[in-house]
Structure 1
Amino acid sequence: MPAVELTRPVKSVPMFSPELSRTLGRILTLVLLFSIGFAATPAEAATNLVKNPGLETSTAGFPECWERSGYGDQVYTSGVTSDARTGNVALKIDISSHTSGDRKMMMLKTGPCAPAVTAGRQYDLSVWYKSTTVAAAMTVFRRDVTAGWQYWTDLATLTASNSFKQKTVRTPPIPAGTDQITWGVSLYGAGTLITDDYQMIDATESVPTPTCNAGVACTKGQWKVMPYESPVRGIHAVVLHNGKVLLVAGSGNDTAAFRAGTFKTAVYDPVTGAFTNVATPVDLFCAGHVQLNDGRVLVMGGNKDYPTPDGTVGFKGLRNSYIFDPATNAYTRTNDMTAGHWYPSATALGNGDVISLGGLGEDSKGTAFTEYYKSSEKRWLAWNEVKQTWKWWGMYPTMVLMQDGRLFYTGSHTFGEGLKGTGASIYDYGTGTITDVPGLQNKDYRDQSMSVLLPPAQDQRVLTLGGGNGHTSVDANRLTDIIDLKAANPTYKPGPLIPQGTLTGGAAQTPNQGKMYVSAVLLPDGTVFETGGALHNRADPVYEASIFDPMSNTFRPRMATDPVPRTYHSSAFLLPDGRVMAVGENPGNGTFDTRISIYSPPYLFHGNRPQIQSVSSTQWAYGSTQQITVNAPVVRASLIRPAAVTHSSDPNQRFVELPMTVNGNNIGLNVTSNPNIAPAGWYMLFVHGPDGVPSVAKWVKLG
């Protein structure tokens, strides 16, 4: 909605007779009521929820309902100033020397000072400011009814301004269990910041009455199996920034193909259904892969050889590394890694570099080398240029980048038991320290579970779900675990059980049965679609799908299920049009299902899709405000990193909130200033309306 400017009251002079003035006033009132009745925001939106917004009411020389706060090491002063926009008082922070942390003025958390909020609603926060630096951000804390006060998010970075300037930004939907928020402006670098005239109004869009004539698809969604099959086995899937999908098989778990040197890759166009075969230089079966910041795909390792017939020697990992370029549909070789890696991780860092850990080496044993790809130099660093811990991290260890640059090993892995200790840990590459994280349930039975950084990435919460143990063939589990990485001492907490499904032949599962090889896909409405999996190692597919809501920490069960079984070597991932694509199925008899399934979530049956009509630029800078226009009211905007998934592992999958500054159909999107929240690269930009229906994505490049 348009920003509301706060002004000093002025003395009015009558222009009409009293009778005519009353008539005009009644007409104006009717016009206003009519407008409010049909506006996107509720009538109460005009109420300023900030206590003492102009800072004029003071106690002991400091504005009531406000407090000084901050942390870290700085030389600073903070207090009040007469350099105000209105009235006689404004807040001022001056940092003359900055080493770490920030200083801020916030609304008091005590009593009625912190505005009351309602879960699911959105609020426009507005402040007038002057700043000599860009190191200033609108910062929000929230009160959870069970966990108490906690940092929520930085909504927007402010530009420098010598004169008073207004910044208005809309919050994301208030999380479940939150009843109050407090906010202010943080100064996190040397400079001077003055703020005045705060405002907070309810800007929640009215939710239209759902209209759907698609039957059960309105609540369960709908699957469609494509009338063609993939020419390659979809072991690996990467969504490219041109909207196409890279499907990598290598030898595809086929020893005959390996002996013949028949290695396959194809690029699939979901719009036309066309496939383009790509020359594949080596066996990239069970390699690692990650999107680079320029949109190309770095592929590391793969299969040097299959196990010997007597089983005395296992799979061997390759040192080779390649870059796939969507512009040419071709691989180009980079320098080799230090060691071979079969089943390695691959995590994009905030500075554009890539770290790779784990897997099996050329000797079929666990590889303890840390591999580091220096993006600016376009090469893997030599082993002695890398900070080594000499720890083996297992196979496809899921390593999620945290907002402070450390890596969270979630406990999701492939094959066998979890690592020693608690099964989850935080790894600081800079210091080489590894700290166990407690709470992961049944850590030795999370083989081919899946972990995702829950929407939004700014919340720093990870969900781990399912898993089993491929060596012992126990029944897979229905467990989920959730962790808040912003907590002082992060600890996994049990989440809700995965909903029950059915086994092959329609037999109902017992309460203790779950699934491994599970897929979890971030959707543009901020939920997580969970699908696929099997009860046992490479056997007994489970037909179940559900949608997890991070705001309520609950599943919506009984979504439509993929008609094709999806167990070992299967993946599901988001397409730019908001649908979900699923590939793969490689049971124990060695066969492979090459059918492709496409899922349309329920939101695609709930009304017209909003459209992003224009984007001011496709090149986005951190901390910037990017302008778009839309054709209808929208309540949320996000960047979703395109998939690079295999074996229930895509540690780079993330949904980044874009707090909005709304002026009708002109939307300002406030981009995070922290590259660890959103590593540089191409993203899918989505908006969605008050009914949850998302737009088709536009591609933008961040960083």
Structure 2
Amino acid sequence: MACLILLEYISFFLFFLDLVPANMIITHVPLNCTIGDTSRMYQGCLRGQVCTAEGNCVLAGESKGDPSFSKKILKIETAINSRKDGRCGKDYGNTICDAAGVYGKCCSEHGYCGSAPEHCLIKKGCQSGCTVIKNHSSGVYPKKKGSLKSSGHLYVPIENQNKISKLWQDHFEGKNIHGEAESQDGRCGSSFNKIICGNWASGNCCSMYGYCGNSSGHCGAGCQSGNCTVFPVRVPEPKPASLSRIPGHFKIIGEAGVSAMHAGLMPNGKIFFLDKLQNYSQIRTNDGYYAMSAEYDMKTRKPVALSYSTNAFCSGGTFLADGRVLSVGGNGPLDELNPNIGDGFKAIRTLARSSSNPYLDGKHWEESRDRKLSTPRWYPSVQTMPDGRIFIASGSLNALDPFVSENNNPTYEMLDRNGNPQGKSVELDILVRNKPYYMYPFLNVLPDGNLFIFVSKQAQVFNVERNEIIKQLPDLPGDYRTYPNTGGSIMLPLSSADNWRVEIVICGGGVYQDIHSPTDASCGRIAPLDKDPKWEMESMPQGRGMIEGILLPDGTSVWLNGGSKGAQGFRLMAEPVLEALLYDPKEPVGQRFSTLASSTIPRLYHSCALLLLDGTILVVGSNPVELPKLKPDADDPYVTEYRVEQFTPPYLMGRKAKRRPKNVVISTKQIKANNKRFLITFKVPVKPLDLKVALYHGGFVTHSLHMGHRMLYLDHIGFRRGAKWQRIYVYGPPNNNVAPPGPYVIYVVVNGIPSVGQFVFIK
């Protein structure tokens, strides 16, 4: 009887697994190499790979590809036509799957049709329609136009790529002098009948993803044709970092209630957690279904269930000028999990909280049926602009194959300051040029009111009003830095001391989207508004993907989470990195990193970290599997994580915690960005030698991005060195370019130690 119950549970679980929307998977073409080839970077392979005598690119140290993928496909001798319910295999009369059907052509070990690794890999028990990957270690997975009801990844046997190629044959209009067809649509390479880029406007290099362009992502490693770069731009090697004299401390403080894919600190001092639609969480909403969002209280260390109306899977977000949380985009409905949660692709969600009105605590997400984005978006980035309007960029239109242009949304659109849609979606050049690495770009409002946009390896200064590129910046050397190989990015603190000079730091990244991908240890730092901006390069102790940077009120930043081998996506990070790093921007290049304490919990795909009012860091999440899984096993060593950690930085360790400024009183919580001054009084337990007043915005956190994250130091007068009681006048921001409107936290920092922060609003 127990066995029957177990089997029913397994079948129930697998049924839901087939319904889980995929995460976005980006696959490059099969790489062909030649030992001794000096005409291509890495002899035609990628960083971390070597070329075999057979012309295959494999991981360095291996002489052949993964032997588990050389097994013969199980033969089904008496296959019959496919079933309508998606079942297949030996237990269903040797039924095969319909390759053109909605489920996928691979028959899994348990008799389900699908297109995910669980269905198609022989080592997972695939029965028919299986995929043979000769070059698994290079991360070469075949591509398919996916389905919302597939599990895991967009995935299909290689022969179906030819179908995509045929879609483009009608566009051929001529051949060059060598008899090779030239691209008429920006697509190229082996997946498109070996079309070359020729005179394509964006450039003549054909990337390993089959796109024409002239960036380092096109002309560098994996370049198929054109003016390919032979030698990589050198970046600093991993460099050991000294152990911080005071390393800080991680402590487990509670349970999140939901898997925290998105998070942010709200004006009431509590934290919202937001997840995709799942078949389990630790808490339930009032309708009896599992909660997919929660409000976490640091005082009680308990979550309160929140409900939403549309699937927020891989959404983007920011804070509106009035302090409401804004979440946009997402994925499709799964009625079998919760019929009350609808399609989130065009969703606009808001969550209202107040620092003075506790009545709003516990209120649910609000969504209006007639308030939608102009186009669907999955994996969008969001930024509040100086006038309070909302800039939204990028995303997938339907969660289908990113190599089919009709599935992509390399555009931007605007919402008004209240979160209402304005106008249509407009093509954004930097996203178009960097496909398929165009999702979840890094965005920052610069002190001149323009946007810094970074995606893949490219950056530019962009004017939204004129839809104009103000300045194209140099490519960042190293590997890919954004999804699916996202590193971390911060804008260093702004100050009038250097006329609000802005610098951006980007660290980490990876080579390709696969569990074997090397990660990047290098960091680039650039001042985009300088006359001749260049990347200043340095390195972390080791390569890291999915690392995220968090500004601290003392001007340093903490970098944590992620791993040293692999990429973003389900089951794609192999080696978690547990130690945190401290970055001090004032130190000389090469000496800015030091090593902090280590966590005991791997924080991989779908994890978050953010600064709290008390100056500590909340660390939460990690869900690198399609559906919640509570116990690790051989197949999934890293599973769904609900434990919440609190990291105490060095500035609050030991006796320092008792030396922080106290009794802080701010004369107004409504601050106009017009340089008008206001009063702050406070007491310092020890002799004060220096003072900073930090204006801090933590932003909307997801997928290693901290959307809208920024900090500036406000000018002040009246500070008296050595006096325990202080009465100072502080000047608000000079304009909304340096501080876009919305909720901020003021930290009074004395001798490098911050007070408990208080929320204010910048108008």
Per the normalisation by structure 1, the TM-score is 0.61
Q: Is residue 2:463 matched to residue 1:396?
A: no
Structure 1 residues 431 and 254: CA distance shift in structure 2, 3 A: farther
Q: Is residue 2:757 matched to residue 1:697?
A: yes
Kept in 2, the 8 Å contact 1:410–1:451? The answer is no
Query: How far is the alpha carbon of 1:612 from its aligned partner?
Result: 4.6
Count of aligned pairs: 449
Kept in 2, the 8 Å contact 1:218–1:603? The answer is no
Query: How far is the alpha carbon of 1:688 from its aligned partner?
Result: 1.4
Structure 1 residues 388 and 528: CA distance shift in structure 2, 3 A: closer
Query: How far is the alpha carbon of 1:591 from its aligned partner?
Result: 2.7
Query: How far is the alpha carbon of 1:544 from its aligned partner?
Result: 2.2
Q: Is residue 2:630 matched to residue 1:575?
A: no
Q: Secondary structure at the match of 1:592?
A: coil
Kept in 2, the 8 Å contact 1:263–1:283? The answer is no
Match of 1:542 in 2: 577
Per the normalisation by structure 2, the TM-score is 0.56
Match of 1:22 in 2: none
Alignment partner of 2:257 out of 209, 224, 231: 231
Query: How far is the alpha carbon of 1:369 from its aligned partner?
Result: 3.2
Counterpart residue identity of residue 468, structure 2: T
Q: Is residue 2:383 matched to residue 1:323?
A: no
Counterpart residue identity of residue 546, structure 2: Y
Kept in 1, the 8 Å contact 2:263–2:700? The answer is yes
Write out aligned runs for 1:272-351 (5 A): 272-304=300-332, 318-326=345-353, 327=360, 329-334=363-368, 335-351=371-387
Q: Secondary structure at the match of 1:459?
A: coil
Query: How far is the alpha carbon of 1:318 from its aligned partner?
Result: 0.4
Alignment partner of 1:424 out of 459, 462, 465: 459
Q: Secondary structure at the match of 1:219?
A: coil
Match of 1:596 in 2: 644
Query: How far is the alpha carbon of 1:444 from its aligned partner?
Result: 3.0
Percent of aligned pairs sharing the same letter? 26
Q: Secondary structure at the match of 1:526?
A: coil
Q: Is residue 2:541 matched to residue 1:524?
A: no
Kept in 1, the 8 Å contact 2:461–2:528? The answer is no
Write out aligned runs for 1:240-279 (5 A): 240-251=266-277, 264-279=292-307
CA distance in 2, matches of 1:428, 1:252: 39
CA distance in 1, matches of 2:648, 2:710: 20
Structure 1 residues 490 and 612: CA distance shift in structure 2, 3 A: farther
Alignment partner of 2:706 out of 628, 650, 653: 650
CA distance in 1, matches of 2:558, 2:331: 31
CA distance in 2, matches of 1:484, 1:380: 33
Alignment partner of 2:408 out of 341, 366, 389: 366
Question: Cα deviation per residue 1:640-683 (whole Å; 9 max; x = unaligned)?
Answer: 10331000111311111112202441111122212011111111
Query: How far is the alpha carbon of 1:238 from its aligned partner?
Result: 1.1
Q: Is residue 2:517 matched to residue 1:474?
A: yes
Query: How far is the alpha carbon of 1:429 from its aligned partner?
Result: 1.3
Question: Cα deviation per residue 1:290-347 (whole Å; 9 max; x = unaligned)?
Answer: 01111101110111169xxxxxxxxx97011111112252222241011111110000
CA distance in 1, matches of 2:582, 2:365: 36
CA distance in 2, matches of 1:573, 1:448: 17
CA distance in 2, matches of 1:493, 1:368: 29
Q: Secondary structure at the match of 2:275?
A: strand
Match of 1:625 in 2: 677
Kept in 2, the 8 Å contact 1:445–1:476? The answer is no
Kept in 2, the 8 Å contact 1:640–1:654? The answer is yes
CA distance in 2, matches of 1:388, 1:448: 20
Counterpart residue identity of residue 301, structure 2: G
Kept in 1, the 8 Å contact 2:607–2:702? The answer is yes
CA distance in 2, matches of 1:343, 1:531: 22
Q: Secondary structure at the match of 1:603?
A: helix
Kept in 1, the 8 Å contact 2:479–2:511? The answer is no
Match of 1:555 in 2: 592
Counterpart residue identity of residue 532, structure 1: N
Q: Is residue 2:261 matched to residue 1:219?
A: no
Question: Cα deviation per residue 1:69-126 (whole Å; 9 max; x = unaligned)?
Answer: xxxxxxxxxxxxxxxxxxxxxxxxxxxxxxxxxxxxxxxxxxxxxxxxxxxxxxxxxx
CA distance in 2, matches of 1:344, 1:249: 15
Structure 1 residues 469 and 317: CA distance shift in structure 2, 3 A: farther
Counterpart residue identity of residue 674, structure 1: N
Counterpart residue identity of residue 594, structure 2: P
Kept in 1, the 8 Å contact 2:561–2:602? The answer is yes
Kept in 2, the 8 Å contact 1:359–1:396? The answer is yes
Write out aligned runs for 1:24-173 (5 A): none
Counterpart residue identity of residue 604, structure 2: T
Alignment partner of 1:381 out of 416, 419, 422: 422
Q: Is residue 2:493 matched to residue 1:455?
A: yes
Counterpart residue identity of residue 277, structure 2: S
CA distance in 2, matches of 1:218, 1:225: 23
Kept in 2, the 8 Å contact 1:352–1:679? The answer is yes
Match of 2:745 in 1: 684
Kept in 2, the 8 Å contact 1:483–1:491? The answer is yes
Kept in 1, the 8 Å contact 2:411–2:427? The answer is no
CA distance in 2, matches of 1:677, 1:301: 27
Structure 1 residues 254 and 405: CA distance shift in structure 2, 3 A: farther
Moved more, 617-626 or 244-253: 244-253
CA distance in 1, matches of 2:520, 2:300: 39
Match of 1:410 in 2: 454
CA distance in 1, matches of 2:344, 2:522: 32
Kept in 1, the 8 Å contact 2:694–2:712? The answer is yes
CA distance in 2, matches of 1:340, 1:437: 29
Match of 1:441 in 2: 477
- Can you give the 5+ residue segments of structure 1 that lack an aligned partner in the other structure? 1-215, 307-315, 412-417, 501-513
Match of 1:671 in 2: 732
Kept in 2, the 8 Å contact 1:533–1:541? The answer is yes
Structure 1 residues 357 and 445: CA distance shift in structure 2, 3 A: closer
Question: Cα deviation per residue 1:201-222 (whole Å; 9 max; x = unaligned)?
Answer: xxxxxxxxxxxxxxx9961011
Higher strand share: 1
Structure 1 residues 611 and 423: CA distance shift in structure 2, 3 A: same
Match of 2:223 in 1: none
Structure 1 residues 438 and 305: CA distance shift in structure 2, 3 A: farther
Structure 1 residues 282 and 673: CA distance shift in structure 2, 3 A: same
Kept in 1, the 8 Å contact 2:616–2:649? The answer is yes
Q: Secondary structure at the match of 1:382?
A: strand
Query: How far is the alpha carbon of 1:368 from its aligned partner?
Result: 2.9
Structure 1 residues 237 and 252: CA distance shift in structure 2, 3 A: farther
Query: How far is the alpha carbon of 1:556 from its aligned partner?
Result: 3.9
Kept in 2, the 8 Å contact 1:658–1:670? The answer is yes
CA distance in 1, matches of 2:706, 2:422: 23
Query: How far is the alpha carbon of 1:254 from its aligned partner?
Result: 8.0
CA distance in 1, matches of 2:550, 2:710: 10
